[in-house]
Structure 1
Amino acid sequence: MSDAPPPPPGSLQALKAAHGPRYRWLLLMSVMVGTMAAIMSSTVVNVAIPDMSQHFGLGQERAQWATSGFMAAMVASMLTTPWMLSRFGFRLTYTLSMWLLLAGGLVGGLAHSYPLVLAARVAEGLAAGVVQPIPAIIILRAFGHEEQGRASGIFGMGVVLAPALGPSLGGVLVDAFGWRSIFFMVVPFCLVSLWLARRYVPVTGPGGVARQAGVSLDGWGLLLASGGTVCLLNGLVQWQAGQPLLAAGLLGAAGTALLAFVAWQRRLLQRHRAGAALQPLMDLSLFRCRPFAMGSLVAFIYGTALFGSTYLLPVYLQMGLVLSPSYVGALLLPAGVVLALTIAAVGRLADRYPTHVLVSLGLLLLAVSFAGVGLLSPNTPLVWLVVLTVVSRIGLGFVLPSLNLGAMRGLPSALIAQGSSAINFLRMLGGAAGVSLCGIVLEWRLAAHGASLAAGGPPAPRLNAFHETFAGLAALCVLALWAAWHLQSRPPAPQRT
């Protein structure tokens, strides 16, 4: 009979013993609900911006900060996830994020001033940024190599449904109850996730180790990363708004912050290896692993193309092909359904086939779909447009569950949390910049063709500008395809926690 003491209540070991082999799926389901709430909060507010602008008497540019503020906060806070997991453990980190997301939803829905709405959106963005790297950490630690793809597929399918269904449901709520109802959408998800976290999320840190109360946060690194992100996004917005001098100053400040961040992180890493307690916010030794370095490049480009095309396609359909908003929604619906089904199927393939092949195939399909849009005309049957959007979503479905696995399977176990945080940060940074970049390129090509998005005027120059912008997205996907092929590595032995 063993004299070993029982594991502490709420620890990873205790929960695994209590729930048996199914525990890893219960844990994944628990964090999936919270991640769905976080992702839904990032997209659903867009349908409320017109009503919110009218309520507070705002211009479009100021109202758009409800989205931009969320994105900037989310991108910056992603880098704090490894520190929070080590300092507070999985359960406290996750529940604090859910409480902050819940508070942001309630305050935003009850706010009577726009600054308070912005503060609520920033709070939601901070919570969403901390939560999003957690599922990839759990999948790589709690699941064996033979199940990681399936887990990624199931998780990805659930997460994709949130932004797909959120705007549709949000539009119904805005029409029925006004813009405030949008903020309350996350409340039931947060409450359910908090209940699930209390039952299934461990109190221990990554790898099942005890929380490290003395771990300090790299404040200077966070300040440089946050400041650089805000300057980059503002610089792109000002460039799009026709303020080249201000934009150049902000983009220069962003570049300076990036160089200072890299130098500071290298210095901290050297100090930490020499025995200093303070760890860098981003461990740059991650990028010595070629699959991770290439995966990070793919993630940044992929985020730019994904978010940029998500913005560009509806604008093209409405202002280029002059289709009604309801018609556009009906055309895009089949693609959303296909995306969810593809992710679930590709997740199983990722357990049997090399991830670099799956990611490369997905990027190739994306490039083909973007290039195909350039061949459309007002006389093209709309069925071809539906086919191209379906092809693009199949491409997304191949990339989403495979990219994190391909980039991070070769990392040492101790760097998995850092790797998940870094690759999510780069993907979302690319996405946040992608919307502005697409807008900038589109306006550049419109000016080159002597066209505008205003009603009237010959449609051909306007369509040419859209087609050239989509061609740029196709070229980005081809560039990412080169990096994706270098994701290949020999899979390590399964790592379980």
Structure 2
Amino acid sequence: MTDPNPSHTPLSNPSSHALPASGPGSLAALNARYGARYRWLLLMAVMVGTMASIMSATVVNVAIPGLSHQFALGQERAQWVTSGFMVASTVAMLTTPWLLARFGYRATYSGCMWLLMAGGVLGGVAQTFELVLAARVAEGLAAGVVQPIPAIIIMRAFEPHEQGRASSLFGMGVVLAPAIGPSIGGLLVDWFDWRSIFFMVVPFCLVCLWMARHFVPTTGPGGMAANRAESLDWVGLALGSLGTLSLLNGLVALRSGPAWQAAPLLGVAVLASLSFVGWQRRRAGRGQTPLMNLQLFAWRPFAMGALVALIYGTALFGSTYLLPVYMQMALGLSAASVGTILLPAGLALAVAIAVVGRLADVRPPGELVNMGLALLALSFALMVMMDMHTSLWWLMGFTVVGRIGLGFILPSLNLGALRGLDKALLAQGSSAINFVRMLGGAAGVSLCGIVLEWRLAAHGTSLADTARPGARLAAFDEVFLMLAALCALAMLAARRLTPPS
């Protein structure tokens, strides 16, 4: 790797092993045109695109009832509207370094915006469920490629003492997408129908394409000219896709049926994952660029950051699924009440990100991540205190504690994992850590569902059983304790995020 305390230079200072590109759209030309404010304009440009991609991921949940009615879908087929996006997004993250190196920032980013917009339009006009699913996969591919890019830019364009502030600005913008998206989506569904949800991304994409033309450089990472001769690791991509798809389908099968039905899929997932690792080693040994550079995991802070990202993704996405179900099925609250309770938590998250971003410039990232995980674990553990007679103010307070914890983690985790990496590995590092987080998140939803069904059965009840609310509440409490334990486990890894001296 590198010296654990390397000197980070701005994005305009390329690495020494390649020649910088020139031309009106090159990094050097844009830096000269816009001066010191350029890095902030670049960050804003990619932030809007990331917001659009995240909004496309979350807002479609509002449209699922309408989709199910339109195409007479059962729960399993309707779930693929979400699952198809998540699988495509997770796998596509692995291709970001190759796309940036071969086509440069602007072509990659603009291409993703065109694909995201095309997916939105196709989903909005689709007359069959198969076309809707194809649209969601297209949106997922675009979202997956875009999401690692901001972290690469923050680590390259900003000095170490500015990276926390840049991360907090980006984080606040990204938090707005899932916060306002479903609300706007709900209004659109009420005023028009489910098709309007898909068209929501179109104006965002148009703005992104304009900003890309003005602020995103044509060059690759570090200001280098794009390398058109670089070949994609298709075998690695196929193995990664097979492993991811088999794992998520295996977990869904485990949740909905007996274990023996899920075993073949989970076995394929394990075999594909081992084959993926072996192939990446072989490709690197030949001097070819691997899809995921396993040398990353030899750097302790990155390896620990990836482990934290995996567990954090599992807890975050799992709880995002679990909390609304808990409030409605265990506490008997209406959907409107759930939205009211979660609103202050969203505001607390935005404020926490702004504050912690400043702290990340002066405090060790591992310390901030540990604090966030502790608060997140505490919020899960406090849920055990709730019963049918507890004031909802307490529930609101517990969710706020958890979102403040997320605010500590979000700006700090990438900084802790990526600082100290060789600049040539930043794109690979951001891609890998986002992939691991999304994989954990995709698995987390199924994990919470599996454990919840298991504990409900152990207590002799079900979600449909209204006669034994105490038993149902106890099952939810045990799932929350599992999430708290996962966060506590991640704290052990977060302690080692600081580079060795």
Class of the TM-score when normalised by the shorter of the 2 chains:
over 0.9
CA contact (8 A) 2:66 2:194 kept: yes
1:251 and 2:266 correspond: yes
Aligned match for 2:63, one of 42, 48, 52: 48
How far 1:244 sits from its partner (Å)? 2.1
Question: In structure 2, how many angstroms separate the alpha carbons of the residues matched to 1:310 and 1:180?
Answer: 25
SS in 1 for 2:460: coil
Match of 2:90, SS state, is helix
Residue aligning to 1:271: 286
Aligned residue runs from structure 1 range 120-131, under 5 A: 120-131=135-146
Letter in 2 for 1:400: L
Question: Deviations for 1:442-482, whole angstroms, at most 9, x for unmatched residues?
Answer: 00000000011014211111000000000000000000000
Return the offset for 1:247.
0.8
1:298 aligns with 2:313: no
| Equivalent of 1:111 in 126, 146, 155 | 126
Separation of aligned partners in 2, 1:124 and 1:35:
12
* CA–CA separation in structure 1 for the residues paired with 2:262 and 2:42: 45
- Residue pair 2:21, 2:223 contacting (<8 A) in 1 also: no
Q: 1:476 to 1:17 in 2, by over 3 A?
A: same
From 371, 378, 382, the counterpart of 2:388: 378
Cα distance in 2 between the residues matched to 1:267 and 1:220 = 12
Which amino acid in structure 1 is aligned with residue 189 of structure 2?
Answer: V
Contact 2:370 2:491 in 1 (8 A): yes
2:293 to 269, 280, 283: 283
Q: 1:6 to 1:156 in 2, by over 3 A?
A: closer
Tell me how far apart the structure 2 counterparts of residues 163 and 432 of structure 1 sit (CA, whole Å).
17
Shift of 1:381: 1.2
Residues 1:83 and 2:86 aligned together: no
| AA partner of residue 478 (structure 1) | A
Query: What code does the residue aligned with 1:36 have?
Result: M
Report the equivalent of 1:484: 494
The one-letter amino acid of 1:439's match is: G
Residue number in structure 2 paired with 1:495: none
Per the TM alignment, residue 26 of structure 1 is displaced from its structure 2 partner at its CA by 0.2
Aligned residues: 482
Residue 425 of structure 1: aligned partner? 435
> Contact 2:47–2:150 (CA<8 Å) still a contact in 1?
yes
Instruction: Report the counterpart of residue 389 of structure 1 in structure 2.
Output: 399
Give the 3-state SS of the residue equivalent to 1:30 in structure 2: helix
- Matching of residues 176-187 of structure 1 within 5 Å: 176-187=191-202
Equivalent residue for 1:62? 77
Q: Does the 8 Å CA contact 2:21/2:224 hold for their aligned counterparts?
A: no
Counterpart of 2:42 (choices 27, 33, 37) is: 27
Structure 1 length normalisation: TM-score?
Answer: 0.96
1:490 and 1:37 map into 2 onto residues whose CA distance is 38
* Separation (CA, whole Å) in 1 of partners of 2:99 and 2:333: 47
1:240 to 250, 255, 261: 255
Whole-angstrom distance in 2 between the partners of 1:6 and 1:362:
41
Q: SS of the counterpart of 2:160? A: coil
Which position in structure 2 is the counterpart of 1:138? Answer: 153
1:309-331 Cα shifts (integer Å, max 9, x gaps): 00000000000000111011101
**Deviations for 1:406-444, whole angstroms, at most 9, x for unmatched residues?**
000011111000000000000000001100000000000
Residue equivalent to 1:405: 415
| In structure 2, C-alpha distance between the alignment counterparts of 1:85 and 1:372, rounded to whole Å | 44
Q: C-alpha displacement at 1:200, in angstroms?
A: 0.4
Correspondence 1:349 to 2:364: no
Alpha-carbon distance in structure 2 between the residues aligned to 1:204 and 1:490? 33
- Tell me by how many angstroms 1:168 deviates: 1.0
Q: CA deviation at 1:118?
A: 0.2
Deviation at 1:398, TM superposition (A): 0.2
Unaligned 5+ runs, structure 2: 1-19
Counterpart CA distance in 1 for 2:265 and 2:191 is 41
Quote the Cα distance in structure 2 between the aligned partners of 1:323 and 1:9: 57
Is 1:410–1:490's contact at 8 Å kept on the other side of the alignment? no
**Residue of 452, 456, 461 corresponding to 2:462:** 452
Q: Which whole-Å CA distance do the structure 1 matches of 2:64 and 2:222 have between them?
A: 42
Q: State the shift of 1:243 in Å.
A: 3.8
Q: Which residue of 1 aligns with 2:17?
A: none
**C-alpha separation in 2, matches of 1:304 and 1:119:** 26
| Structure 1: distance between partners of 2:486 and 2:259 | 24
The correspondence for 2:231, drawn from 213, 216, 232, is 216
Equivalent residue for 1:365?
375
Which residue does the alignment assign to 1:275?
none
The amino acid across from 1:261 in the alignment is F
Q: How far did residue 490 of structure 1 move?
A: 6.1
Q: What is the match of residue 213 of structure 2? A: 198
The reply on whether 1:174 has 2:189 as its aligned counterpart is yes
How far is 1:6 from its partner?
10
Contact 1:231 1:250 in 2 (8 A): yes
Encode CA deviations 1:45-104: one digit per residue, 9 max, x unaligned: 001101110011111110110000000000000000000000000000000000000000
One-letter amino acid of the counterpart of residue 421, structure 1? S
CA–CA distance in structure 1, aligned partners of residues 276 and 171 of structure 2: 32
SS at match of 1:69: helix
Q: Give the conservation status (yes or no) of the 8 Å contact 2:43–2:170.
A: yes
Q: In 2, Cα distance between the equivalents of 1:35 and 1:469? A: 31
TM-score (normalizing by structure 2): 0.95
Bigger drift between 132-141 and 337-346 goes to: 337-346
Asked if the contact 1:71/1:125 (under 8 Å) is kept, the reply is yes
Q: Which amino acid aligns with 2:433?
A: I
- Distance in 2 of aligned mates of 1:328 and 1:45: 18
Deviations 1:208-248, CA, capped at 9 Å, x for gaps: 01100100000000000001000000001111111422211
Contact kept? 2:168, 2:356, Cα under 8 Å: yes
What is the distance in 2 between the residues matched to 1:326 and 1:357? 37
Cα distance in 1 for residues equivalent to 2:465 and 2:34: 61
Deviations 1:137-164 (A, max 9, x none): 0000000011000000000000011011
Q: Distance in 2 between matches of 1:490 and 1:86?
A: 30
